[in-house]
Structure 1
Amino acid sequence: MSTQALTKTVNKVKVKPLKNRLGAAIVSMILGIISAIFVVLAIVAEVVTSASGAGLTFFIIAGISSLVGFPLGLSAIKSSKGRGMAIAGITLTILPFLLMVAALVIILMYMFL
């Protein structure tokens, strides 16, 4: 097979351009920031003021924003623009979620011991 035939075969392959998911990356990062703020507020509400109703509400808001922001960040990580923001969004949604789970375990242990 000649190199000219190989070139023609390669040129027929269509390469799909990456979708621009900059909006999803931005929303993921914003939801990550919101979840981080609400986790801190929940911990302060639970530990410092012992207002369990407010802390639980903050934990629920942080959990929902983390669970929505994480898949948005994953979908935006392969985009042509906003890859850095998508990585930041994934990081900012995972860390508060893990912190939230750890804080809930500690609070539940404190309540039942």
Structure 2
Amino acid sequence: MAAQASTKTVNSVKPQKNRQGSAIVSMILGIISTFFLLLAIITAVATSNQMYSSGIDGVFAVISGIVSLLGFPLGLWARKSSKGRGMAIAGITLTILPFLFVVFGLIATVFIYSRFSM
């Protein structure tokens, strides 16, 4: 009985879970989000001299924002893992920057149209 009790040890440290898949998905979504943001900027600049644009640049910006919102929580969740931590941080960075650009662009657009549409 005493030998059995001495062989059992209580391990209070939990092993970290492998969340490398979430880190990879977060990084890929960050790359896709950045691509759509760059596409939105390029189409906005290309159609800036026209009287009316097709609005496709806004569609690209919305897609970039949605993809950012999907990838950011995955990166935060995967950052706690020992494996894939660097990819998780890259995913967080690549998703938060396009999201901030989209939010600031939306605020600027609302401000400009409310200021000059009177």
TM range (shorter): 0.7 to 0.9
CA distance in 1 between partners of 2:39 and 2:109 (Å): 14
1:61 to 60, 63, 79: 63
3-state secondary structure, aligned to 1:12 = coil
Number of aligned residues: 104
- What TM-score results when the alignment is normalised by the length of structure 2? 0.78
- What's the Cα RMSD here? 1.7
Match of 1:89 in 2: 91
Name the SS for the 2:55 alignment partner.
helix
Aligned match of 1:38: 36
Kindly report which structure 2 residues correspond to 1:93-108, keeping only aligned pairs within 5 A, or say none: 93-108=95-110
Deviation at 1:67, TM superposition (A): 0.3
C-alpha deviation, 1:90, in angstroms: 0.4
1:24 is aligned to 22
Amino acid of the structure 1 residue aligned with 2:67: S
User: More displaced, 76-85 or 33-42?
Assistant: 33-42
Consecutive unaligned residues of structure 2, counting only runs of 5 or more, are 1-5
Write the letter of the residue equivalent to 1:28.
S
The one-letter code matched in structure 2 to 1:107 is T
- Sequence identity, in percent? 61
Answer 1 or 2: which has greater helix percent. 1
Listed as ranges, the gaps of 5+ residues in structure 1 are 1-7
Give TM-score, length-normalised by structure 1. Answer: 0.81
Q: Deviations over 1:53-91 (max 9, x none)?
A: 211211111011100000000010011200000001001
Q: Offset at 1:109?
A: 3.1
